[in-house]
Amino acid sequence: MKNVIIGTAGHIDHGKTTLIRALTGHETDRLGEEKRRGISIQLGFTYFDLPSGRRAGIIDVPGHERFIRNMLTGVGGMDIVMLVVAADEGVMPQTKEHLDILSLLKIKKGIIVVTKSSLVDEEWLELVKEDIRERVEGTFLENGEIVAVDSVEGTGIDELINKIDILTEEAESRDINAPARMPIDRIFTIVGFGTVVTGTLTEGKISVEDTLEILPQQVKVRIRNIQVHGQSMNTAYAGQRVAINLANVKLEDIERGQILAQTNSMVPTMMIDAKLNLLKDIPRNIKNRDRVRIYHGATEVLARVTLLNEEEGKAGESIYVQFRLEEITAVKKEDHLIVRYYSPMETLGGAIVINANPRKHNRFDEDIIKDLATREKGGPEEIVEKQIDIHSKEFPDLLFIAKLTAQQLNDIKPIVSDLANEDKVIVLGNDNVIHKNYYEDVKKQLINLLASYHKSNPLKLGMLKEEVRSRLFPKNKSKSIDTLIDIFAKNKIVKIKDKFISLYDFEVVFSPIHKEIKKQLEHIYLRDQYSTPKFGDIVNDIKFEKDDVEQVFNSMLGDTLVRLNPDIVLHTKSYENAKAKLADYINKNGSITLSELRDILNTSRKYAVALLEYFDREKVTKRIEDKRVLY
């Protein structure tokens, strides 16, 4: 059955709390000060059953301007609003501000309730209704019904209930398949149970024993118990008022305004890209770097506003902005924010989140403005593609993209699959993904890097794979880099031989002189198997130009020759022979010492040390005290 939250809005002392008592039989003012002063200070919550059988939650918001933050905390979770106007006073300042806030939050369904109707005559009542109709023109309540009631005598209450019931049928259902999210508006403890938080579950569903996280701190918690309208439930759904008993967290570790959410569903942020819609009657223009108050869910965050496409924001305009927050928070695309001046605290407009995790932008950057326009209107596929494009350097996995876009992983997978089929993204191993733009950019860099290397080292097989990684992907240790390089090889951009990468069409071409040098070098290193001379001595003995000898020598390293350390180089055949003898000895004897390897190879201690240290680095052997065993 559809879950619906109904809320009140309106000026102080216009009878909102009394109206709820008449509708539900319940009292929402619970604080002693509220009862003593006769005004609502905190949010009030209750419920009632409609003629259709639906159970509707009720939120009573404070009407006094001093408690506007508390009003904002409640209004974000409403599906239907009762705009309350007292017949004896008519539309008042807070009536207008509440109506502005409701319109900015894109509340779609509502009804106008004229209270205290018995205090005025019929003629006055009609004048009040006419004035209200003029004041709501151009808002979501423009065609809303007006019902006159007297909450004390009960006049008009049954009619109001029936009209509310009809509106609940028309209200849009909330998405119970989205990642669960609940702004926390109350926190308390119950002896024997521990920490309890309450709020309106705005999306998704939660069940007992689920593990969630508190954002933006990303503290993991477990659900012990759930109550909906005072009844214990195993599962709660979007659109319900919920009280949740949490494990693994203390009362002092939670603050009102934080968000209880599905784990890995949102990424906390210090910046928000948004479309700011300014009210038509703001008292002054908004300027770049102005300090503002942002209200989202149950939280208030201070921020500086960067105007991206205008010198200043004027009344009635819609502009692109970047909010640079003074504390971390968590939002998602298409969330609605209320924005107020820092001082005096007056509502200046509402903002719709376009990018919940942006990078810092420069003003008047045409590419940024174009990107924001695309994001603003884009569907899920465009949003996912853009996030992959932005974060490709990090080789993001699908779970990370799901968090950035606040979508379920199972919803992301088919989108990415479609993008891959359209050749817009490339899926690597372990669900990592990159954009085709990044692939082309890396391909260009790789071709340029190897072309330059081949030009300087024409006799080398190619660049070491590790050097390619460090040059193209500094500080990135992702295993997907190897997968990407393999894709370049599969696409015949490069070829890979052992540890070397070269351009696909590159071949080492030895001149007759180079061939002769290589022949002589091989002879020397094979002749002096485990007592090879230093390279400087070889250069002096071979009657060729030093540069030619060095080029050939370098081309042989890693292929024909193995460098054990800066001073000792062996022929690959000698190295492989030594490794085979070492493995055979250890297999027969369990281990080998330095002196034993020296005797087996009939070499000096210096060469035996160099070989064992190289075997250790290559994970052929492992040292245990003064012995080596196979790794």
Percent of the chain with pLDDT over 70: 94
Residue 427 scores a pLDDT above 70: yes
pLDDT, one tens digit per residue, over 531-571 is 999 888 888 778 888 888 888 888 888 889 999 998 999 99
| 425 falls within a domain | yes
At 561 the pLDDT is 92
Which residue's entry shows tokens 């000895």?
585
Domain count, the chain: 5
Residues 6+ apart with CB under 8 A from 363: 288, 306, 307, 308, 309
At 134 the pLDDT is 94
| 277 lies in the same domain as 419 | no
Q: Tell me the pLDDT band of 623, cut-offs 50, 70 and 90.
A: very high
Of 135 and 406, the one with more pLDDT: 135
| 534 lies in the same domain as 464 | no
Domain end, chosen from 372, 390, 410, is at: 372
Domain end, chosen from 262, 290, 314, is at: 262
At 64 the pLDDT is 43
Beta carbons of 277 and 349 less than 8 angstroms apart: yes
Percent of the chain with pLDDT over 90: 61
Beta carbons of 296 and 331 less than 8 angstroms apart: yes
| 142 lies in the same domain as 286 | no
| 367 lies in the same domain as 406 | no
pLDDT, one tens digit per residue, over 217-267 is 999 999 999 999 888 999 999 988 899 999 989 888 899 889 999 998 999
Of 44 and 371, the one with more pLDDT: 371
Q: Which helix (H) or strand (E) holds 5?
A: strand 4-10
| 603 falls within a domain | yes
The CATH number covering residue 132 comes to 3.40.50.300
At 598 the pLDDT is 95
Give the domain range for residue 44: 4-170
| 499 lies in the same domain as 620 | no
Of 349 and 37, the one with more pLDDT: 349
At 573 the pLDDT is 95
| 400 lies in the same domain as 486 | yes
| 564 lies in the same domain as 591 | yes
pLDDT, one tens digit per residue, over 518-527 is 999 999 999 9
Whole-structure pTM value: 0.73
Amino acid at 175: D
| 484 falls within a domain | yes
The CATH number covering residue 526 comes to 1.10.10.10
Residue 468 scores a pLDDT above 80: yes
| 394 lies in the same domain as 343 | no
At 43 the pLDDT is 56
Window from 70-74, 178-182, 408-412, 625-629 with minimum mean pLDDT: 70-74
| 253 falls within a domain | yes
| 388 lies in the same domain as 504 | yes
- Give the mean model confidence (pLDDT) for residues 508-520: 89
Tell me the helices (H) and strands (E) count for the chain, helix number first.
19, 34
- Give the mean model confidence (pLDDT) for residues 569-596: 95
| 300 lies in the same domain as 348 | yes
The CATH number covering residue 359 comes to 2.40.30.10
Window from 19-23, 44-48, 129-133, 442-446 with minimum mean pLDDT: 44-48
Measure Cα distances from 90 to 38, 125, 155 in Å.
Answer: 19, 9, 19
| 414 falls within a domain | yes
Residue 374 scores a pLDDT above 70: yes
At 248 the pLDDT is 87
Beta carbons of 402 and 409 less than 8 angstroms apart: yes
Q: What are phi and psi of 413, to 5 degrees?
A: -55, -50
| 166 lies in the same domain as 45 | yes
Domain end, chosen from 262, 297, 321, is at: 262
Residue 510 scores a pLDDT above 60: yes
At 617 the pLDDT is 93
| 198 falls within a domain | yes
| 175 falls within a domain | no
At 40 the pLDDT is 37
**Mean pLDDT: which of 3-12, 313-322, 476-485 is highest?**
313-322
Window from 138-152, 186-200, 428-442 with minimum mean pLDDT: 186-200
Residue 444: CA atoms inside 13 Å, Cβ hemisphere, count? 6
User: Of 29, 26, 50, 49, whose CA–CA distance to 38 is shortest?
Assistant: 29
N-terminal to C-terminal alpha carbon distance within the chain = 63
Residue 515 scores a pLDDT above 60: yes
At 72 the pLDDT is 66
Q: Tell me the pLDDT band of 358, cut-offs 50, 70 and 90.
A: very high
At 1 the pLDDT is 60
- Give the mean model confidence (pLDDT) for residues 107-125: 93
Cis bond before residue 344 (omega within 30° of 0): yes
Q: Tell me the pLDDT band of 459, cut-offs 50, 70 and 90.
A: confident
- 627-630, strands of its sheet edge to edge: 592-593, 627-630, 621-624
- Computed over every residue of the chain, the mean pLDDT equals 89
| 400 lies in the same domain as 466 | yes
| 176 falls within a domain | no
pLDDT, one tens digit per residue, over 384-396 is 998 999 999 999 9
pLDDT, one tens digit per residue, over 163-199 is 999 999 888 888 899 999 999 988 988 888 889 999 8
